[in-house]
Amino acid sequence: MSGFDLTGLSASFAGERVIGPLSLSVKQGERVALVGRSGAGKSTLISLIHQQVGRESSLVPQDLGLVNALPVFHNIFMGKLDAHATWYNTLTLIRPFSRDRTEVRTLLQELSMREKIWVPTASLSGGQRQRVAIARALFRQSSLLLADEPVSALDGPMAHLVMDLLRKRFSTGVIALHDVELALKYCTRIVGIQDGQIALDEASDRLNPADITPLY
């Protein structure tokens, strides 16, 4: 599975509807950008999709979900915890297997962080932490990516490098993005969220930035 067809998605907080009810269908090979102002419901929608498809996806949450006390390597390795037996994961805490070390080191090299592999995650900058969460998603090797503002802490060139890497590694994805230019360049479909509902759903090549700006 890499596509999905979900109906009746909705969420409320403190008795107030935040999103939905709405339906979202994503075909294999589609890369969907969720756009809209902060508070529109993009993060909630990513979370609802993840609840439904769970283990079939690689997730980059907005809060990153990193364990500060662990080195970069172990935070990335956590992307595959459910793929291994408990003894394997326990042993990896003490002495990681060479194939995992090699794979993680290669990912970090692609993200210009090779030298950070054994550094405590707590000591990293915001942009470096974001790249660790991205490396964890890549390490998981799912065909479906769910990412919530995955490049918000990265400068222009690094944001493009990461978005290009995500496009190459994941055949299908739903990515919440604030940057309209990145959304149009790296995603095949734009879904605009406004007041918890889908206000726009169109192929990227049929849109320009001016079509999306009103959502903000």
Walk along the chain (216 residues) and give the pLDDT tens digit of each residue: 579 999 999 999 888 888 989 999 999 999 999 999 998 999 999 999 999 998 899 999 999 999 999 999 999 999 999 999 999 999 999 999 999 999 999 999 999 999 999 999 999 999 999 999 999 999 999 999 999 999 999 999 999 999 999 999 999 999 999 999 999 999 999 999 999 999 999 999 999 999 999 998
Cα(172)–Cα(169) distance, integer angstroms:
9
Cβ neighbours of 52 (radius 10 Å): 12
Q: Are 123 and 69 in contact (CB under 8 A)?
A: no
CATH class of the 4-215 domain in this structure: alpha beta
pTM of the model: 0.93
